[in-house]
Chain A
Amino acid sequence: MDERILAALRLLPDYLGRHVLLSAAALALGCALALPLAIVAARRPAIRWPALAAASFVQTIPGLALLALFYPLLLGLSAFSTRILGVSVPALGFLPSLLALTLYSMLPILRNAVAGLTGVDAAVLEAADAVGMTARQRLLRVEAPLAAPVVMAGIRTAAVWTIGAATLSTAVGQTSLGNYIFTGLQTENWIFVLFGCAAAAAVALAADQLLGLIEVGARRRDAGRIGIGALGIALGVAAAFVPLASLGSAAYLVGAKNFSEQFILAELISDRLQATGATVERKEGLGSAVAFRALASSDIDVYVDYSGTLWANVLGRTDTPENAAMLAELSRELRARHGVVLLGALGFENAYALAMRRDRAMALGIASIADLSRRAGELTFGADLEFLSRPEWTSLRDAYGLKFKTQRSFTPTFMYRAVDSGEADVITAFSSDGRIAAQDLVVLPDPMHALPAYDAVLLISPRRATDATLTRALMPLVDKISVEHMREANYMIDRDTDKATPRDAARFLGRASGL
C-alpha cells in the first residue's frame, strides 16, 4: 500500500476520535442552547424574530473566520480572568473550536424547533389545556412529541454542518480530520486531502443515518428505531474516547505554522521529546501571529520561529541589525516582555527573499532587488498569503521604491507554481526552500539590507521556561541543522512526485544532521 495511505491510517484513530468528540460536544451544546431558546421563541414572537435573525447572521460568517474570531476573544478573556481570578482560559484548540461550532450548529436546530412547536394544531393545544394539563405537561406530553420529527430533522442538518465545519478547527490548533486537509494542501499531498475529505464525509454520513433513524422513529412512534439510532450515536461517541485514553494526558504541546518546514521541525522536536519517554501532542497549521501568542500564553510549549519575523512582528522593529546582534537582543526582549525563552538558533535561515526564474531574470537584466525597481512596473509580484501585510514588505517596498504592475497572493505551493508558469514574475521565496534549486530560481540579492535576518530559532513557553527535560531534549538541535539539509528535507515533501511524509523527512533531517 502507498506509504502516504499508511501514514494517514496511522493518524486516523487520533484525528477521527478528536473530530467526533468535538462535533458531538458542539452539537450537544448547540441543542442545549437552541432548544430552550426555541421553546421561549415559539411562545413569544417578540423574541422569535431577533433569535432567528441572530442565528442566521452567525451562519453567514464563514466558518474559518468564526473560528479565528474566537481566538483573540478568548485570549482577551484569558488575560482578564488571569488578572481577576488567577485562572487562565485556553484560547487555542478545543475551546474556541467548540464555541464557534456550537454557534454554527444553532440555526437549523432553532429554526426547526420553532417551526415544529408553532406548527402544532391549535385544536390539539386547546384540548391539552381543556383536559387539565399544566404548561409543562402540555410541553412534554403534547408539543415535544409532536414537534420531535421536525426538531430531529434540524438536529440532523446541524450534525452534518458541524462535522463538516469541524475540519476547519485545525487552523486554531484543534486536532481534527482537517489536519489531513490542511497539511495535505500545504505539502500537496493529495492523498491526505482526499483521505481527510472522505473520512469527514463518512462521519457526517454515519451521523446523518443514525439521527435519521431517530427522526423516522419519532415520526412513526417506533421506540425500536429511536433506540438503535441513539445506541449507535452513543457507541460512536464512546469509541471516540478510546484513542484519547490511550494517549494519556499529553505532557508537551508542540506547535507548527502552516508550511512543510514547520511540519518537519515539529516532527523532529516531537521525536526528540518522545525519546525521553514524554508524551507529545501537536498543534499544527497555526497562523504566524497566532503561533507566537499561543506560545506566550503557554497554549503550546515549543515551536520554531524566525528571528526576522519576531523582530518585525513581535518587537515591532524596522531596523535590520546583523544576525548575532538581532538574536541577542531578541532573546533579551522576548524574555523580558513575554517570559518566552529563546533556546537557540537551529543553524539555518529561512529568509524571505525575492526570487525569479533564471531565464526571466537574465532576459530582463535583473541581478538584484535594486535592478528590479526599474522594471517593476511591467512585472507581476506573487507573494505568500501574509507577506503583503507584514512590516517587512513595507520596509522593502520603501527602501527600493518597488511598484509592481500587479500583486497577487498565493499559498506557498501555488506561489512556486505561479512563478514556474509565468503567472508571476517575482515571488517571495523562502531561502531554505528546496524548490529554489529544483525550479532553477535565482534569489535576488538585497544590497540595502532592507530584509532582516531570519534565523530559525527554538522558542519555549513561559510555563516550560525552566523545564529540564525539554531543554535537555532540544538543546542538541541548536546549531546542528544546515540550510542544505533543511532544503533537502523540505524538497522531499514539496516535490511533485515521490513525495515523502513530514515524518520521513524529519527522520532524514535528524540522521543527516548527525542526531
Chain B
Amino acid sequence: MAKPLIEIDRAGKSFDGGRSFAVRDVSIAVEAGAFIALVGTSGSGKTTTLKFVNRLIEPDTGEVRIDGVSVATVAAPKLRRKIGYVFQGIGLFPHLSVAENIAVTPQLLGWSRADIAARVAELLDLVGLPQSYATRMPDALSGGQAQRVAVARAIAARPRIMLMDEPFGALDPVTRDALGGAYRDLHRRLALSTIMVTHDVQEAVLLADRIVVMSGGQVLAQDTPRALMANSASPEVAALMAMPRRQAERIRTILDGA
C-alpha cells in the first residue's frame, strides 16, 4: 500500500498543563484522495485533532507528517498556504470584496495579477456563483453564498489537502445538503484529500469514504460508513452510527401511518 499523504501519529494535547488531555494518542492516516469524516460529540477532541494538521493548534505529544515530513519543521504560514481550511465561522474578510477574498492566498504566494484574475473567475464557476458576485462585499451575501466563497478561497491556491471544521453547520438544511453534495463533487474533480469535522453522523455517512469516531479525546473506531453501520464492537459507536437509520425508520413510520 502507498504511504499515506497525512499521518497523525500518536498526537496529544492538554489545555491545562497536563492535568487532563483534550486529545490523547490519536493516530489517523489519510491516503491521497480520501474523504475522512471525524465525528463525535462536543468536546470529543475532533476539532483539536483537525487543527494539528495546519498547526492552528500545536500538539504537546506526537506529531503530524505530510508526505513523511513533520509539519513542525515547516513555517506555519508557509504550511497553511498549501492547505485549504473552511470552518463554521466562515471568516470572510469584511473589508475585501468576494474576488479579493478569494485572491488572498494566491496573493500571499506572489501570483501574477493576470493569473489571479483568471483563477477567481474559474473558482466562481466552480463553486456555482455568478461572475457578477466578484465585486460584492461579504455583508451582501447569504450564509450559503458566503460559505461558497469561503470554499473558493480555501481551494484558490490549488491545495491538495482540505480541512473542514463543521463547514455547513450554520446553514439551513436545504442549503447544507446542496453545499455538501457540491463539495463532494469538487473533492472528486480536484482530487483533493479532505478531513471534515462534523457532529452530524448523517452528513458523515453521505459524504465520507471513511469515518473516524472520537470520544473523550480518543479514537473509538474508524472504518467505512457501511462497515461502521453494519456492526460495531463498541455500544457507543453502534448507538452513534445507528442514528441515521433510526431517523429514517421514524420518518417511514410517520409516512406509512399517513
Contact = CB atoms under 8 A, between A and B. Distances in A.
A128 B89 contact: no
B21 interface: no
Contact of B93 (A129, A132, A142): A142
Contacts of A137: 77, 108
Q: Counting chain A CB atoms within 10 Å of each CB, which of B56, B91, B105, B153 scores highest?
A: B91
10 contacts: A127-B87, A127-B89, A127-B150, A130-B54, A130-B85, A130-B87, A132-B78, A132-B80, A132-B81, A137-B77
Contacts of B89: 122-123, 126-127
A131 interface: yes
A347 interface: no
A133 to B, nearest CB: 6
Interface centre among A123, A127, A134, A137 (most CB of B within 10 A): A127
Main secondary structure of the interface of A (DSSP, over half): helix
Interface in A107-132: 121-132
A221 interface: yes
B95 A146 contact: yes
B137 to A, nearest CB: 9
Contacts of B235: none
A281 B69 CA distance: 73
Contact of A132 (B90, B94, B108, B150): B108
A391 interface: no
B92 interface: yes
A123 B54 CA distance: 16
Contact of A133 (B82, B90, B108): B108
Contacts of A232: none
A145 interface: yes
Interface in B128-156: 150, 153
Contacts of B78: 132
B29 interface: no
Interface in B45-79: 54, 56, 76-79
B28 interface: no
Nearest to A126: B91
Nearest to A134: B77
A-B CB proximity, top 5 nearest? A127-B91, A123-B89, A132-B81, A130-B85, A132-B80
Contacts of B104: 131, 133
B81 A131 contact: yes
A129 B80 contact: yes
Interface of A: 121-134, 137, 142, 145-146, 221
Nearest to B81: A132
B247 to A, nearest CB: 30
A124 B105 contact: no
B105 A132 contact: yes
A134 B78 CA distance: 9
B93 A130 contact: no
A130 B83 CA distance: 8
B77 A124 contact: no
A131 B90 contact: no
B95 A131 contact: no
A131 B108 contact: yes
Nearest to B91: A127
Nearest to B163: A130
A121 B138 CA distance: 14
A145 B153 CA distance: 20
B81 A129 contact: no
Interface in B70-129: 76-82, 85, 87, 89-95, 104-105, 108
Contacts of B90: 123, 127
B12 to A, nearest CB: 22
A121 B91 contact: yes
Contacts of A134: 77
**Residue among B78, B89, B92 with the most chain A CB within 10 A?**
B89
Contact of A124 (B54, B82, B91, B153): B91
B108 A127 contact: no
Given A129-B56, A221-B95, 10 more contacts: A121-B91, A122-B89, A125-B91, A126-B89, A127-B85, A127-B92, A131-B80, A131-B104, A131-B105, A132-B105
Given A126-B56, A137-B108, A132 B77 contact: yes
A89 to B, nearest CB: 44
Contacts of A123: 87, 89-91
B35 to A, nearest CB: 20
Contact of B80 (A124, A130, A142, A145): A130
Residue from A121, A130, A146 having most chain B Cβ neighbours under 10 A: A130
Contacts of B54: 130
Nearest to B88: A123
Nearest to B89: A123
A221 to B, nearest CB: 6
Nearest to B90: A123
Of listed A124, A126, A131, A133, residue having the most chain B CB within 10 A? A131
B84 to A, nearest CB: 9
Nearest to B138: A124
Given A130-B80, A137-B108, A146 B91 contact: no
A122 B89 CA distance: 9
Nearest to B105: A131
Nearest to A142: B93
Nearest to A145: B95
A128 B150 CA distance: 12
B85 A131 contact: yes
Contacts of A133: 77, 104, 108
Contacts of B94: 121, 124, 146
Contacts of B95: 142, 145-146, 221
